Chains A and B, each alone.
Chain A
Amino acid sequence: MIGFATRRIVQAMIVMLVVALLAFTMFRFVGDPINQMVGIETSIEDREALRDRLGLNDPVPVQFFRFITKAAQFDFGTSYQFRQPVSELFAKRIPATLELSFASAVFALVVGIPMGIYAGLNRESPISKLFLSVSLIGISLPTFFIGILLIFLFSVTLQWLPSFGRGETVQIGSWWTTGFLTISGLKALILPSITLGLYQMTLIMRLIRAEMLEVIRTDYIKFARARGLPDRLVNFRHALKNTLVPVITITGLQLGAIIAFATITETVFQWPGMGLMFLQAVQNVDIPIMSAYLMLTAFLFVTINFIVDILYFFIDPRLRVGRP
Chain B
Amino acid sequence: MPFITNEDPKSAVQDSAAPVKEPGRMARFLDSDLFHSFLKSKVTVVAATGTAILFLLAFLAPWIAPHNPFDLASISIMDARVPPFWMEYADPRFLLGTDDQGRDMLSAIFYGMRISLIVGFCSVVAAAFIGISLGLVAGYMGGRVDAIIMRIADVQLTFPAILIALLIDGIAHGIFGAIDREVFAFYILIVSLALSFWVQYARTVRGSTMVEKNKEYVQAARVIGIPSVIIMVRHILPNVTGPVLVIATINLALAIVTEATLSFLGVGMPPTQPSLGTLIAIGNDFLYSGEWWIAIFPGLALALLVLNVNLLGDWLRDALNPKLR
Residues of A bordering B, CB below 8 Å: 14-15, 18-19, 26, 30-31, 136-137, 139-145, 148-149, 151-152, 156, 163, 256-257, 260-261, 263-264, 267-268, 278-279, 281-283, 285, 287, 290, 294, 297-298, 301-302, 305
Contact = CB atoms under 8 A, between A and B. Distances in A.
Given A143-B261, A144-B280, A256-B160, A279 B166 contact: yes
A158 to B, nearest CB: 13
Contacts of B226: none
B295 interface: yes
B174 A152 contact: no
Nearest to A286: B170
Contact of B170 (A142, A151, A156, A290): A290
Interface of B: 151-152, 154-155, 158-160, 162-163, 166-167, 169-171, 173-175, 253, 257, 260-261, 264-267, 280, 284, 287-288, 290, 292, 295-296, 299, 302-303, 306-307, 310-311
A263 B163 contact: yes
Contacts of B296: 148-149, 152
B280 A148 contact: yes
Nearest to A294: B167
Contacts, number: 111
A141 to B, nearest CB: 5
Grouping DSSP codes into helix (H, G, I), strand (E, B) and loop, the A interface class, with mixed when no group exceeds half, is: helix
Contacts of A264: 162, 261, 264-265
B159 A301 contact: yes
A145 B158 contact: no
Contact of B284 (A136, A148, A278): A148
Contacts of B302: 142, 145
Contacts of A305: 158
B159 A282 contact: no
Contacts of B261: 142-144, 264
Contacts of B292: 152, 156
Contacts of B284: 148, 268
Contact of A151 (B154, B174, B287): B287
Given A141-B303, A283-B266, A290-B167, A148 B158 contact: no
Contacts of B299: 145, 148-149
A13 to B, nearest CB: 12
B171 A26 contact: yes
B311 to A, nearest CB: 8
B167 A260 contact: no
Nearest to A31: B174
Contacts of B158: 15, 256, 298, 301-302, 305
B159 A140 contact: no
Nearest to B170: A282
B50 to A, nearest CB: 12
Contact of A30 (B169, B171, B264, B295): B171
B303 A140 contact: yes
Contacts of B295: 148, 152
Given A152-B292, A264-B265, A267-B265, A139 B166 contact: no
7 contacts: A30-B171, A260-B162, A260-B163, A263-B166, A263-B265, A264-B264, A290-B170
B2 to A, nearest CB: 49
A268 B277 CA distance: 13
B174 A285 contact: yes
Given A145-B302, A279-B265, 6 more contacts: A26-B174, A148-B299, A152-B287, A152-B296, A156-B287, A256-B158
A143 B306 CA distance: 13
Q: Top 7 A-B pairs ranked by shortest CB distance?
A: A282-B170, A140-B307, A30-B174, A260-B160, A145-B299, A285-B174, A140-B306
Contacts of B264: 142, 144, 264
User: Which one of A19, A152, A298 has the greatest number of beta carbons of chain B within 10 Å?
Assistant: A152
A142 B260 contact: yes
A282 B267 contact: yes
B159 A260 contact: yes
B161 to A, nearest CB: 9
A287 B266 contact: no
B291 to A, nearest CB: 11
Nearest to A290: B170
A19 B169 contact: no
B162 A261 contact: yes
Residue from the set A15, A144, A156, A261 with the largest chain B CB neighbour count within 10 Å: A144
A166 B84 CA distance: 34
Given A256-B160, A260-B159, A282 B166 contact: yes
Contacts of A285: 170, 173-174
Contacts of B288: 156, 163
A148 B162 CA distance: 19
